[in-house]
Amino acid sequence: MAIIPTTALQIERDGALRVLRRNPEASRFMFERLSRTIRTLEVKAEDLAFLDVTSRLAKYLLEIAKTGLPLPLTQDDLAAAIGSTRMTVNKLLADFEKRGLIDVERRNVRVIDEALLLREVRP
């Protein structure tokens, strides 16, 4: 699921292998990118296994806030990203907002108090 407009490029296997063989810089870039992707997936798996849904939502909102970009996300988007349901996300967002941790306007969630929201991330 892309959060921002994204363009994907599909390259046939043989052509990609030729480029990687001829260009060590491209090979290095590809391996670095794959390594980051694998690490990101490992962290997501750990989060799903060891964090409750409140912690996962708080952590995800903090990660989004770090980008500095306004990212319009529906409650369904948030639920899918953290492995939960829209109903649960709705309740948690309302609770976070009531306690002054975040501000919710339409599809935009703005973190107001990072320190307090970080306290919601409990292993």
Query: Per residue in 84-121, pLDDT tens?
Result: 999 999 999 999 999 999 999 888 899 999 999 999 99
Rounded Cα distance between 6 and 3, Å, is: 8
- Each as own residue / partner, the long-range contacts of residues 32-36 (CB below 8 Å, 24 or more positions apart, any chain) are none
Using one digit for the tens of pLDDT, what is the confidence trace for 26-85? 999 999 999 999 999 999 999 999 999 999 999 999 999 998 877 788 999 999 999 999
